[in-house]
Chain A
């Protein structure tokens, strides 16, 4: 674990914890957001037979850096009638909520922010802060569109937490652990040991689990997509209806914080999905480090596989975004309450029966 290494290096628990807690932010989320924003724009452009950003750097590779420089220089315009304290607090809270989720995500066998046993439940609980932050920002903006967007966001995120949680409970019933690290370790080996392929335990249950797990994966993917307010579930920031939703009044770096939180969330959600169903950081084909007997190569490979899986699901999210139009509010709610929740209940019951037998 990196923590022990940092502890030995610095000799202080506080410094080691401090460094470790900042590692994912500076080494992962910020670079990821930089790449993902560009990727999103390029993917969107090419799906619409356009080229996207082409001016800054080769094929617009430095576009996001230029954007960040622009955002840093921008005036922080603040409307007269807003509630300043909460208005300023909201982006911090949103980002804190999405960043806190990274604490329990295992990036590789050697790095995990905090190896707590609650793991996945902690992640779902702490992302509740995002709802609070969004609601706070929307309400403090003193703008009807912001408030509408915030209300929609709250309703949506809370509704979609139910199918997410039901599927998570299903997975917990199978794996017997809430810790994402143990969960990933449990799915070790090759890709047929992943939970989407029925888990590592051989037997009749493995075959029975496969269709259930595929449907579970679809449900959790869609409901987490809705939780991070991505198209087709982006009704909280529906541009055509309510300007920009809860971040209408924000500008400059505060807006950038919301943006960063969105991309951090996108990756967090993809990481959770891959940790639950696709073996987390486990390689699908075995490790080069084992083959060459270089033990330090394995964590790096694991990190590569973790990032690859995460980025793959982020790409699928983008792909969905540029394929589907936005849901209507009532369609969204009926999709959640009439389809996702009953089906996840049925899966929960079936998995319970299978594991008991």
Chain B
């Protein structure tokens, strides 16, 4: 009988304790963040979507090499002499046209390894973390600021320059050869007189 009443009392008492706890929680401010309207503050060293500031990019390919999952693809074209590409914010002179700078953000593992090697700090992590897409192809981000026509132009320019250079080189080589040939002839004529076997040394 005593046990019976004790059990009843215990049941009642423990329910009261539970109700006290829930009543106290009724007045504790909610932990909910109203997400789309109120956003949680991200930590200082957050790692989210990558961004490349193309104005500063010098096309050094260091980020591409650092990437452990090969999600960065860069193509560069040398500029031709006389073209002014401007300077980066920390005073480095740009010498390369970047005709392709694709980051496949779906592949990206947010390791931030590409950020540290960058000599101009142009690739960095932003605080954007909502970038879902319906198409997988939309995850390939193109950062190049040149238009397709410009890209073609730069490539063509470079090729033409290379051909020109090549032809110049060839011409120069030809001229050199001719000169040498002429010198040789001279030497030959000289050697006939001097009996000298090494015309190159003489040329020096």
A residues adjacent to B (C-beta < 8 A): 43, 45-51, 54, 218, 319-320, 322-324, 339, 343
Contacts and interface: CB of A to CB of B under 8 A. Distances in A.
Q: What 10 A-B pairs are tightest by C-beta distance, nearest first? A: A51-B32, A323-B18, A323-B22, A51-B30, A47-B22, A323-B19, A46-B26, A49-B31, A47-B25, A50-B32
A218 B12 CA distance: 10
B42 interface: no
B34 interface: yes
B19 A49 contact: no
Contact of B18 (A50, A51, A324): A324
Contacts of A49: 25, 28-32
Interface of B: 8, 11-12, 15, 18-19, 21-23, 25-32, 34
Contacts of A323: 15, 18-19, 21-22
Contacts of B26: 43, 46-47
B34 A54 contact: yes
Given A49-B30, A51-B30, A319 B19 contact: yes
24 contacts: A43-B26, A45-B30, A46-B25, A46-B26, A46-B30, A47-B22, A47-B26, A49-B28, A49-B29, A49-B31, A49-B32, A50-B31, A51-B30, A51-B32, A54-B34, A319-B19, A319-B22, A322-B22, A323-B15, A323-B18, A323-B21, A324-B18, A339-B11, A343-B8
Contact of A51 (B8, B25, B34): B34
A218 B9 CA distance: 12
Given A49-B25, A51-B34, 4 more contacts: A45-B30, A50-B31, A323-B21, A324-B18
A45 B25 CA distance: 10
Contacts of A218: 12
Contacts of B19: 319-320, 323
Most chain A CB within 10 A, of B19, B21, B22, B28, is at B22
Contacts of B11: 339
